[in-house]
Amino acid sequence: MKGKTAIGAALDAAGAKAQYDGHVKRILGNRQVLARILKGAAEEFREYSPEEIVGWIEPDIEIEGTALRPGETGKGKLLITGDSTESRIPGEGTITYDIRFRVYVPGQGRRETVKLLMNVEAQKKFYLKYRIVTRGIFYGARMLSEQLDREFTYSEYGKLKKVYSIWICMNAPLHIGNALTEYWIGKRDIIGTMPEMKKNYDKLSVIIICLNEKSKEKGGELHGFLNTLLSPKMNAARKKEVLLRDYGVEMEQEIGEELKQMCNLSEAIEENAMRKGVRKGVKKGVRKGISLTKSIMRLAGEGKTEEEISALCGVSAKMVREIMEA
């Protein structure tokens, strides 16, 4: 993908953020990246190499808000986008996935019966009006219900495919740091024993991967990989060097461009936020404005809400919001 040679100084904050989000989704939608996420997070793939897993991911990877590049057919590409990430079911409303794809479970004879449906979401904020795990369960439940008339019909529930909803939370608070947690459907015999094979009820798993570059707890290999890949502080050249040296990932040209653009946008957003913070702080002095902006950005990176930052910094929630939006 041919990107702009430079990010213009006039790039407004909202536009920069929107483009930044798009680059993150395209990078996470890369087969090499998805394969490493599956290896580190999904139990079905832990014994296999990323190179093996890449071959088990189906060709159509759907990425929200991203169209195929001119001339791309989807076959033979490491980065592939589909035509829809929306799920619409009458009476259940519409939801939009960041990334959605299908993958086969390895080591099985009949491929058609061991397909998994995967959903990967990128989340910049940890503290929201809802709990991420609850939203993940909702997304997973929708992926189960929408299989009717697609993966199975009527009473053929044995053909129901297992679904994963994987959430990558950047800027997790320091007290959580680099963490990986799984929520799943389990079995507990209360009275007597009900003989049932795990595969018949193990149909939904929500995985939350928390990332924090500053955390003393570095987490596992997956955390190191994702922290490098999504770092807002590391430039593209350095990222590619570390990814190749430490993780054996040689990014193809398209993703190399995405990394470069994402890093440029990250710098543009930070510079824009700093400039706006300085302007807001002129009345109280330039130094105070710079210090205020840095404090707000630091607290936001730790997952604090606008109200919490407002109270800690002694400024209005409106000013906090304006600086964060920049």
Structure confidence at residue 237 (pLDDT)? 80
Say if 24 falls within a structural domain. Answer: yes
Q: Is the dihedral of CA 85, 89, 92, 93 positive or negative?
A: positive
Sequence-separated (6 or more) residues with CB below 8 Å from residue 320: 296, 306, 309, 310, 313
Tokens representing 8 are 């213009």
Say if 275 falls within a structural domain. Answer: no
Structure confidence at residue 234 (pLDDT)? 78
Distance of CA 99 to the CA centre of its chain: 8
The answer to whether the beta carbons of residues 161 and 115 sit under 8 Å apart is yes
Least confident stretch, 76-80, 155-159, 178-182, 212-216: 76-80
Domain range for 140 is 13-254
Say if 278 falls within a structural domain. Answer: no
Say if 310 falls within a structural domain. Answer: no
Phi, psi angles (nearest 5°) of residue 27? -70, -45
CA 41 – CA 209 distance, rounded (Å): 8
Say if 286 falls within a structural domain. Answer: no
Give the model confidence (pLDDT) of 42-71 as tens digits.
999 999 999 999 888 988 888 875 433 333
Give the model confidence (pLDDT) of 197-236 as tens digits.
998 999 999 999 999 888 878 888 999 999 988 887 777 7
Looking at the structure of the chain, the number of domains it has is: 1
Q: pTM, whole model, 2 decimals? A: 0.69
Say if 267 falls within a structural domain. Answer: no
Please, what is the average pLDDT of the chain? 75
Say if 301 falls within a structural domain. Answer: no
**Apex CA 15: angle with CA 287 and CA 255, to 5°?**
105
Say if 65 falls within a structural domain. Answer: yes
In whole angstroms, how far apart are CA 163 and each of 27, 101, 119, 284, 285? 22, 10, 8, 53, 54
- 326 or 169, greater pLDDT: 169
How confident is the model over 64-89, as a mean pLDDT? 43
